[in-house]
Structure 1
Amino acid sequence: MVNNHDAASINSQEDTTRGLENLDANSDIAEFNSGKVEATGDDESEQQLRRIRTLNVKDPERDEESQDIEIGTIESQDVHQKKMPLRQVLTLGFSTLGAIYGDIGTSPLYVLNSIKYPDPNNMTKEDVMGGISIIFYLFTFIVIFKYVFIVLVIGPNNGDGGQVAIYAKICRYLKVGLKGIHIPGSPEKSDLELLTRQETSSSWKSTRSDSSRFTRVSERFSELKNKPSTLKFISKLILVLCFLGCGLLFSDGMLTPTTSVLSAIGGIQIAKPSFSNNNVLAVSEVILFLLFVVQQFGSHKISFSFAPIVFIWMIGLLVCGVYNIVHWGPDIFKSLSPYYAVKLLQRTGIDVMSGAMLAITGTEALFADIGHFGRLPIQLTLGCFVYPCLMIAYLGQGAYLLHNLDKISNPFYYSIPGGTNSGPYWIMFILATLATIIASQALILGVFSIVTQLINLDCFPKFKVVHVSKDHIGKVYIPGVNWLLMVGVLLTTAGFKTSSNVTASYGLGISLDFAVTSILLVILMVYVYEVNFLIPLAYTLVFLSLEVTLVIANLKKVPHGAWFTIMMCVIFFSFLDFWRWARHLKLRYDLKSNVRISDLYPQLKPRPATVTVDLRNNSARVVPQEDEEVDMKEMFSENLKVASKFGKLTLNKYDGVAFMYNDSPYYVMRSPNTVPNIYAQLVRSFASLPRVFIFCYIRVLSIPNVPPEDRILLGSVKDIPDHYKCVLRFGYSDNIVIDSSIIAAISDELPPIEGIPVEDWNTLHIFENNKILSRDMESEEGRFGFFRRMIHGLRKTSINLVFSPLHLMFLQNYDSNVKFKDNSEDAERKLYLGTVVKI
């Protein structure tokens, strides 16, 4: 089954006055453009689809009721936000074991021996109890209090998680952010509302009214946060934090598989010292390769297959923990007192935090993977099963160490009942190996989810996104990203060679990721939820201060390998920022290059009119000026007059139908007064044009399947005779194919001209294929400073050699979606047009 993903929709901001020139209460375009639907579940989505009327261009007369334009917005809702039956919650919760908790669940393998004790060669019982105490409170505060009760509740946007989701959520409410895109979760508006009210980035204002219960400090804080300069700073800050968080997650996506697998395979050396480091590395590389190969089967199948292994692993940890506590005594429970944590911190400083925080690695994947499973299954599984098992496991290791202080080098394997080479030892070794392999799954899925969101925000190349489940839109697999990540992980593993080397560099990216999420959450509380300023302040003092401490502690790892995290984060951040900048230049060019219909066809220049807009009833009425003289014969003549540099040219037409697929199709759909530049080049360059011309846009909705009767949405371009706009709607699980059946269905909606059925006409498919280059430097004197020339050279190189090839590589290949019965027709029925675009 071939699945497809919709690239990010692009919002165009049309001038209000220009839009009102052609606004009509009977406007087909307004109703046509209000037809975007987001997923709210199978039944509800289908009902919403059916409520959108496909415009019948054969019968322009419509009753008064059909003239009403629906202004109401349709808010996108993720299927996970709907009430799920208990059985489904339990099933998804069980599946999360195989996809999310492998990383955090395998931390007992290496955490206690990674902590920097005052004197590792002379361990004391207070050191052990202090280490266990720090692990317990770090896990409880960061994982349970922060992520389970706060992040997973207020952080998701449109069912997705990660810093990108928080960024998009803030942008939706502040009406700021990246221009030219549709923020996931934003309500869809009809053209009438867009034309009569223009939104700007500074239009947001707090809806909370001043009240006597707010102190003077809170009132001043509210005034400060709503200042335009503050909003401008916040809009830039959240974008930087979003890209920084993504870069950190990508870095973790390379380090986590390396750390987990090397640690697991390294366990062989405990029982078999003759097993060399080279053998560990070779086996690890093979396992990692196989792990990425199986990703193509989909997260739902992989996670459900892996879940029993992680479940048994957790039970094994629980059994070992209970055994050690019972066998060695319950004195370890004293470590639950924060006294021992504070005492160890006093002796070692914050350095101890860098090792203890390895117990919470993988926590960031809880939030990033929420789109795959939903909030409730993750919360229930973590709080009711994973958390108790892990805490008992750590307490059990601590109980063992209290009586075996010399075994600190590897307390996990030494504390297994029966000792090394025993049956329980090899059972736990096999489970540990399998669990650590699965641990990599959490970050891999997190990378898939984040990249999908970045693609929707037009901040990442449009890789092919495969939806592997019809029930959950968040379950995705990105082949290109999977193979690139595999190469990066294999090279990282080969570079670090041993688990101890990786562990020494591990943790900085995770602690920075925690801090970035916290800053975004504070902004979210202040602007979106508009809570009392004391709540974000308390959150900052409790959580952000703790995470900053973790960052400072892990900065000492930079000389020992943490530089790798910083380097990879800088690379990923730079690429995301560069791609968004280049895409912004391209979208700005698209807007400026659009040609007004009245400039292309002077005879179609609209008459002056008076527009009456009733905002209360969501209606508008256009009254032409009666005294205006208009040459109606010229306006509706058979052949249009095209304005060109050679004067007015007569555009002849032949019996045929043309479909034009534009690189930026959303502009074609949204603007009622302009046509894309590629269309203007076409009519000015050719002496004839097919009689019927259709601007076609392929849209993939956030529902699995679209019924054939709801697939086509067709509307006329009222200013140009025999020109239409068509949206072909597919579900994310549908195979996108434009074949003879689709063409016939469109033909049924078109009126026959001169008695010739449309299906008998010649069909031509026109595709845009531009070459993007950097614009030349402009200077009156023709001289430039050295630094300016250097910057321009860098700009030219990056656009011409990086962005242009990647943009062409990941351009939506509409031509591959058009299928003919005879392959030889490709050369006859497909036309490629393009130009050099300088940005």
Structure 2
Amino acid sequence: MSKTGQTISSQNDGADSTMTGIVSDIDEEPAGPMEVPQPKKNNSFWRYTLPAAFSSLGAIYGDLGTSPLYVLNSVKYPHQDPTERDIVCAVSVIFWVFTLIVIIKYVTIVLFFGPNNGEGGQVAIYAKIARHLKIGPKGVTIPGSPEKSDLELITRQDTVSSFVSGGSFMKSSGTWKQNPTVVKVVSFVVLTVCFLGCSLVISDGLLTPTTSVLSAIAGIQIAKPDFNNVLAVSEVVLLVLFVIQQFGSHRISFTFAPIITLWLIGLIVCGLYNIIKYEPGIFKAISPHFAIEILKAGGIDVFSGCMLAITGVEAMFADVGHFGRAPVQLALTCFVYPALMLCYFGQAAYIIHHPDALSNPFFYSIPGGTNSAPYWIMFVLATLSTIIASQALILGVFSILSQLINLDCFPNFTIVHVSSSYKGKVYLPMVNWMLMVGVLCTTAGFKNSNNVTAAYGLGITLDLCLTTFLLTVCFIFVYEFNIFVSVFFLLVFLPLEIIMVVSNLKKIEHGAWFPIMMAGICFSFLCFWRWARARKVDHEFSSRARIDNVFPSLRRAAQTVDLGRGRSPTRKDEEESTEESVAEWNENLIVNSKFGELPLKTYDGVAIIHCESSYQNLMSPNTVPELYQRVVSSFASLPRIVIFCSKRALSVPVVPEDERVLLGPTKIQGHYRCVLRYGFTEAMVIDKELMQHILRSVPGYVELNDSPHRDKMPVSVLHVFDKSVVKSHTYSSDPTRNVFKKARRWVRIFAIERIFSPITSIFNFHGQYLKIEDEAEEAQRKLFVGGVVRI
């Protein structure tokens, strides 16, 4: 991974985050993703899979599990007063929609082929396609891809094997899949579809908590008709839900899991009771004949209500990174699926003999009637379960946005990894509070559950279609399935999902415009952010200066210095390099400064130039960052030791202390590239101890620090950070009278300078990861060099 936001370790799991040590023996991260250590296979089912499946109940299945609260009374029946045949046919549609979409499509196919590097959601499918076709965002290492050795990158002296300009996928066998035009079209389409799908899930994150909590709290009015504070109580419940997110999904889910277990057991009991007592023959609805019959009689409108039974399936896929594929599949097929089907069949059996209960079939069908002990037990469980239903969407949004941040497609929000067992267990504080405000406002706007369910479903069905399309593309380009197999998958599921989309279009006038509008806003922002970041990265690549342009006397390429499997360069290594390979400091290097060509002045000291990301540091051995050129050309002076430093997060929870730092020489004598490597649970900070390890690994530092003429004064170390301001081109050299072109330029300037630039400044943590306790020392050691970046 090359970009993980400001990654912070949670102390919940006791992960060691001490950051010391220099690499000595291990020089590279293995090719391919580094897997998080898993339990031994012999006992993995009992030690991990089963507990994880139980834990997943408390985080993933609340949404699917609480659908019985509002599905049957949301169905559009052929007759105004549904007949027994209508009820049987409706529950048949629910059974087959759930079975086909959730069990066959998602559990059997999507969860097997969709996840990337252990994480799920549409972003994961896009990342898998982008990695295979090499069409991902420029300068981003996509999780799951084989990574070059860090040591190889910091020590290489040629550009043929550049990890930015390396071999292309197009050089493979010349089939239509490798055609540049095809790849270009696929690149645009899959990224667009990915952004649209993510936007729909985020907008769904506003409606799901609202729907679930309002539906549960409304149960009070069944037993107490004079209760009028449903909205106020719902707002309080939602507020508490978002406040407890900071404790981490692993604690929340393990706390919620027993509640959902009891809830599902309650559904089984209620379902079996109603089936046995009222209509044992209700199982005839399993026959698809009844589903087809109601479609003939009432048209596809029946899908608009029945599909609410599967509203949590996309969130389930997005949440797979929190628990893993096997636990999710186990819990759903063996427990959640049977419990829900028995509940739906039981409600149908009850309604057949109590048609008046259709207004709220769940609460009316509870054994013992309203105001009985079973009623209040199920009400409490329903309320708690709806809170957990909201949890599933919240975790899904966290997972999706953390993946987008890693792909440089979203602002650099802080990511908190709350577990060392799974990299996908994350918490995003800023997103949590923003989502809380959005959900509370949405709940206040819709006021009751009937209004929400009337608007609910369109975004979810669109999401189902997008996942089907992305997975089909993945089958063709990544797994290289036979085209007929891929098209068969598409033709089996896409028509059904399109029908569900059409059936939900009538909901637009009843409020479905709201989630579509919110999805449109999110989609526009994601597209704008990726466009602006692409312009910014292009500038960073193009603005790097060639070494021989900065120092005209440095014309010869340096010889490769063998660091010997990660050890720091020794004096012997330096002596073995040819004298002509690098320019010696006593040659009085000439600098192309802003005041003309001047001799370079040097002084005893160390400058550590911090690069925003590793690709800025490692992209080419013949170039230096713009920040370095800006400093040198402005002052024509440098310390004797210069270190280009960058940070990288790996796919392991903790990096051993002796593998933290990698250091190698550049083509300029006294200049080094350094990569600091962290695990995903570790705080990416540089403290005093780590800094001393970095300095003592630099050849010549000890001698420079202990030289007699220094009179025991320590060598000064200066940390240089880039704090440039991003601005738009002003087009002053290209004036125009065209009104449309003027408007487009005004919008471009406004978006970059009023939206992109401020957000970038807020979430770029300039120098905050360098910990210097003394304020006076911090003021002396940190130097922020500004500038204007035009994109």
* TM-score past 0.5 threshold: yes
Give the match for residue 135 of structure 1: 94
Q: Contact (CA 8 Å) 1:713, 1:728: kept in 2 or not?
A: yes
Task: Describe the superposition over 1:28-63 as per-residue Cα deviations: whole angstroms up to 9, x where unpaired.
Answer: xxxxxxxxxxxxxx9xxx9xx978646xxxxxxxxx
SS in 1 for 2:381: helix
| Counterparts of 2:342 and 2:492, CA distance in 1 | 26
Give the match for residue 245 of structure 1: 197
Cα deviation, residue 132, structure 1: 0.6
Among residues 57, 74, 79, which one is paired with 1:114 in the alignment?
Answer: 74
Q: Contact (CA 8 Å) 2:24, 2:659: kept in 1 or not?
A: no
The answer to whether residue 753 in structure 2 is matched with residue 800 in structure 1 is yes
Give the match for residue 825 of structure 1: 777
Cα deviation, residue 691, structure 1: 1.5
The answer to whether residue 3 in structure 2 is matched with residue 7 in structure 1 is yes
Among residues 344, 347, 355, which one is paired with 1:405 in the alignment?
Answer: 355
Among residues 267, 287, 297, which one is paired with 2:237 in the alignment?
Answer: 287
Cα distance change on mapping 1:89 and 1:53 into 2, 3 Å: closer
Cα distance change on mapping 1:204 and 1:454 into 2, 3 Å: farther
Among residues 712, 722, 742, which one is paired with 2:670 in the alignment?
Answer: 722
The answer to whether residue 636 in structure 2 is matched with residue 671 in structure 1 is no
| Counterparts of 2:225 and 2:118, CA distance in 1 | 48
Higher deviation after alignment, 817-826 or 336-345: 817-826
Cα distance change on mapping 1:828 and 1:139 into 2, 3 Å: same
Q: Where do 1:298-337 residues align within 5 Å?
A: 298-337=248-287
Task: Describe the superposition over 1:675-721 as per-residue Cα deviations: whole angstroms up to 9, x where unpaired.
Answer: 1111111112125322111111122222222222221111111x211
Structure 1 unmatched runs, 5+:
10-41, 55-69, 208-222, 612-628
Q: Where do 1:201-280 residues align within 5 Å?
A: 203=170, 205=172, 224-276=176-228, 279-280=229-230
Among residues 742, 760, 777, which one is paired with 2:731 in the alignment?
Answer: 777
Cα deviation, residue 829, structure 1: 1.1
Give the match for residue 74 of structure 1: 32
Q: Contact (CA 8 Å) 1:8, 1:182: kept in 2 or not?
A: no
The answer to whether residue 405 in structure 2 is matched with residue 455 in structure 1 is yes
Give the match for residue 551 of structure 2: 601
Q: Where do 1:457-536 residues align within 5 Å?
A: 457-536=407-486
| Counterparts of 1:366 and 1:753, CA distance in 2 | 54
Q: Contact (CA 8 Å) 1:354, 1:554: kept in 2 or not?
A: yes
| Counterparts of 1:201 and 1:110, CA distance in 2 | 52
Task: Describe the superposition over 1:405-461 as per-residue Cα deviations: whole angstroms up to 9, x where unpaired.
Answer: 222111111111111111111111111111111100101000000001000100000
Q: Contact (CA 8 Å) 2:554, 2:582: kept in 1 or not?
A: no
Higher deviation after alignment, 460-469 or 686-695: 686-695
Cα deviation, residue 593, structure 1: 0.8
Q: Contact (CA 8 Å) 1:324, 1:415: kept in 2 or not?
A: yes
Q: Contact (CA 8 Å) 2:39, 2:47: kept in 1 or not?
A: no
The answer to whether residue 51 in structure 2 is matched with residue 91 in structure 1 is yes
SS in 2 for 1:756: helix
Cα distance change on mapping 1:194 and 1:337 into 2, 3 Å: farther
The answer to whether residue 338 in structure 2 is matched with residue 388 in structure 1 is yes
| Counterparts of 2:558 and 2:621, CA distance in 1 | 16
Give the match for residue 698 of structure 1: 647
| Counterparts of 1:82 and 1:795, CA distance in 2 | 55
The answer to whether residue 735 in structure 2 is matched with residue 768 in structure 1 is no
Higher deviation after alignment, 332-341 or 301-310: 332-341
Higher deviation after alignment, 149-158 or 464-473: 464-473
Letter of the 2:49 counterpart: V
Cα deviation, residue 338, structure 1: 1.1
Give the match for residue 173 of structure 1: 132
Q: Contact (CA 8 Å) 1:507, 1:554: kept in 2 or not?
A: yes
Q: Contact (CA 8 Å) 2:695, 2:701: kept in 1 or not?
A: no
Cα distance change on mapping 1:632 and 1:326 into 2, 3 Å: closer
Letter of the 1:669 counterpart: L
Among residues 661, 673, 688, which one is paired with 1:740 in the alignment?
Answer: 688
Structure 1 vs Structure 2: percent identity of aligned residues? 53
Cα distance change on mapping 1:818 and 1:302 into 2, 3 Å: same
Task: Describe the superposition over 1:619-678 as per-residue Cα deviations: whole angstroms up to 9, x where unpaired.
Answer: xxxxxxxxxx99899755254221124332122122111111123442222210011111
Higher deviation after alignment, 144-153 or 671-680: 671-680
Among residues 686, 694, 697, which one is paired with 2:635 in the alignment?
Answer: 686
Task: Describe the superposition over 1:302-349 as per-residue Cα deviations: whole angstroms up to 9, x where unpaired.
Answer: 000000000000000000011111111312111111111111111110
Cα deviation, residue 233, structure 1: 1.2
Letter of the 1:174 counterpart: L
Cα deviation, residue 366, structure 1: 1.5
Cα deviation, residue 249, structure 1: 0.5
Give the match for residue 372 of structure 1: 322
Higher deviation after alignment, 451-460 or 634-643: 634-643
SS in 2 for 1:637: helix
Cα deviation, residue 824, structure 1: 1.7
Letter of the 1:673 counterpart: N
Among residues 79, 88, 113, which one is paired with 1:154 in the alignment?
Answer: 113
Give the match for residue 188 of structure 1: 147
Among residues 479, 488, 502, which one is paired with 1:552 in the alignment?
Answer: 502
| Counterparts of 2:48 and 2:487, CA distance in 1 | 38
Among residues 652, 657, 682, which one is paired with 1:708 in the alignment?
Answer: 657
Cα deviation, residue 181, structure 1: 1.4
Give the match for residue 570 of structure 2: none
Give the match for residue 355 of structure 1: 305
Among residues 643, 657, 673, which one is paired with 2:592 in the alignment?
Answer: 643
The answer to whether residue 705 in structure 2 is matched with residue 751 in structure 1 is no
Q: Contact (CA 8 Å) 2:593, 2:636: kept in 1 or not?
A: no
| Counterparts of 1:599 and 1:592, CA distance in 2 | 14
| Counterparts of 1:712 and 1:675, CA distance in 2 | 20
Cα deviation, residue 376, structure 1: 0.3
Cα deviation, residue 206, structure 1: 5.9
Among residues 378, 382, 389, which one is paired with 1:428 in the alignment?
Answer: 378
Cα distance change on mapping 1:282 and 1:465 into 2, 3 Å: same
SS in 2 for 1:556: helix
Cα deviation, residue 74, structure 1: 3.2
Q: Contact (CA 8 Å) 1:257, 1:439: kept in 2 or not?
A: yes
| Counterparts of 2:647 and 2:77, CA distance in 1 | 61
Q: Contact (CA 8 Å) 1:76, 1:187: kept in 2 or not?
A: no
TM-score normalized by the length of structure 2:
0.90
Cα distance change on mapping 1:704 and 1:632 into 2, 3 Å: closer
Cα distance change on mapping 1:271 and 1:777 into 2, 3 Å: same
Task: Describe the superposition over 1:368-397 as per-residue Cα deviations: whole angstroms up to 9, x where unpaired.
Answer: 001000000000000001111111111111
Query: Structure 1: which 4+ aligned runs deviate by more than 6 Å?
Result: 629-634
Letter of the 2:253 counterpart: S
Q: Contact (CA 8 Å) 2:94, 2:306: kept in 1 or not?
A: yes
| Counterparts of 2:60 and 2:25, CA distance in 1 | 39
Cα distance change on mapping 1:178 and 1:737 into 2, 3 Å: closer
SS in 2 for 1:764: strand
Structure 2 unmatched runs, 5+:
6-14, 561-577, 707-712
| Counterparts of 2:582 and 2:471, CA distance in 1 | 63
Question: What is the CA RMSD across the aligned residues, in angstroms?
Answer: 2.6
TM-score normalized by the length of structure 1:
0.85
| Counterparts of 1:174 and 1:820, CA distance in 2 | 44
Cα distance change on mapping 1:275 and 1:652 into 2, 3 Å: same
